[in-house]
Amino acid sequence: MNEKYKDLFAPFTLPNGIELKNRIVMAPMTHWSSNVDGTVTDAEIKYYSRRSNGVSMVITACTHVTANGQGFHGQFAAYNDEFIPDLKRVADAIKEQGAKAVLQIYHGGKMSPPELVPNGEIVSASDIPAEQNGVPGKTPRPLTEGEIEEIINAYGEATRRAIEAGYDGVEIHGANGYLIQQFFSGHSNRREDRFGGTLEKRMAFPLAVVDKVKSVVEEYGDSFFIVGHRFSPEEPEEKGITMADTLELVDALADKGLDYLHVSLGDFFSTVHRGVDDLTKTRVEYLLEKINDRVPLIGVGSIYSAEDARKAFETGIPLLALGRELLIDPDWVQKVADGKEAEIVTKLDKEKQEELVIPDQLWKMIINRPGWVPGV
């Protein structure tokens, strides 16, 4: 291994005592490849298996905790005990290759396509529709307080299923515009009850989910079960999340006894848009400062080469996630470990779907969206 990259391969111990064998984890990526009924296909098992033998931890595609939380076609489900054997197949495939398996649990809220949820009724914090390319989608129905409690419990139930299915941990998906973020966002959340109205009240739902998941782990799991939390730092809408809001949330999350926080970014080095004094600083710099070593942070976003990873690591971040790069080159970690970083592929070879073990539906999504994955 090239001396320059050896720090990426130092083992890392999470707060709960679990040791990760290196600093590279696989980012959660939806693959649209599960069966219509939420059960798991052989194609997705092969896809995970192919990508789990270099990284220290694999975070799965998001899985919905209630039937009305499904946000994508071909998503695997976690809202019922009947799914435990399928959840287990994914965990086993990852663990067999030597990585820790972490199940990403979520609810799509207003981002759910109506045709995927019971009675076509989509729900959210308030009746503010999601927008795609400036076009508003269907208006969601605001959840009642009782329904909110049920969904908080559902995150707990999905965690219990993850424990029973043999996962090493769960990641609470509070990022990318889904239900947890909809409650935290001043744009999406216009409530005036205990779940909205002030920044503190907008944090109530995200923090209640963390508390529920932690209490379920205490009851059903062991002390080595990993609990992480993912968040998006900023939203573009006028009333949307600012970096100042996020720093408050992160401050609260950092004291929750989590094993890691995971910022969701398209570019690791992106600078802050608003809400703080110095807009030349990166989001990661602000986050590391606020967290102040209370909990490990995972960084992510457009890390393709070993040099990209080394530069990102120089910020002092302890863990890095790779998403698209592991679609393009599943052997990224092994190549760096073997001193063959020059052989890393950073543009998708459109002739190699089979060799790269990318399921048909994921392949179609990538090919039909030019610019999303480099090389397409």
Q: Which is nearer to ligand FMN, 177 or 196 (CB)?
A: 177
Has 106 been annotated as catalytic?
no
Q: Which is nearer to ligand FMN, 16 or 302 (CB)?
A: 302
Query: Residue numbers of the site for ligand FMN (CB under 6 A)?
Result: 27-30, 61-62, 104, 173, 175-176, 230, 264, 266, 300-303, 322-325
The alpha-helical segments, DSSP class H, found in 138-278 are 145-164, 179-184, 199-202, 204-220, 243-253
Q: How far apart are CA 350 and CA 372, in angstroms?
A: 13
- The pairing of strands 260-263 and 297-300 is parallel
State the helix-helix crossing angle for 204-220 and 145-164, rounded to 10 degrees.
Answer: 40
CB of 60 to ligand FMN, least distance (A): 8
Q: How far apart are CA 183 and CA 206, in angstroms?
A: 7
Q: Which is nearer to ligand FMN, 185 or 191 (CB)?
A: 185
Q: Which is nearer to ligand FMN, 76 or 205 (CB)?
A: 76
| Residue of this chain nearest to ligand FMN (CB atom) | 323
- The answer to whether 175 and 246 are in contact (CB under 8 A) is no
Of 47, 155, 178, 286, which one is the catalytic site residue?
178
CB of 376 to ligand FMN, least distance (A): 11
- The answer to whether 327 and 292 are in contact (CB under 8 A) is no
CB of 127 to ligand FMN, least distance (A): 25
CB of 9 to ligand FMN, least distance (A): 19
* DSSP for 121-176, written as a single string: --EESSS---EETTEE-PPPEEPPHHHHHHHHHHHHHHHHHHHHTT-SEEEEEE-T
Active-site residue set: 178
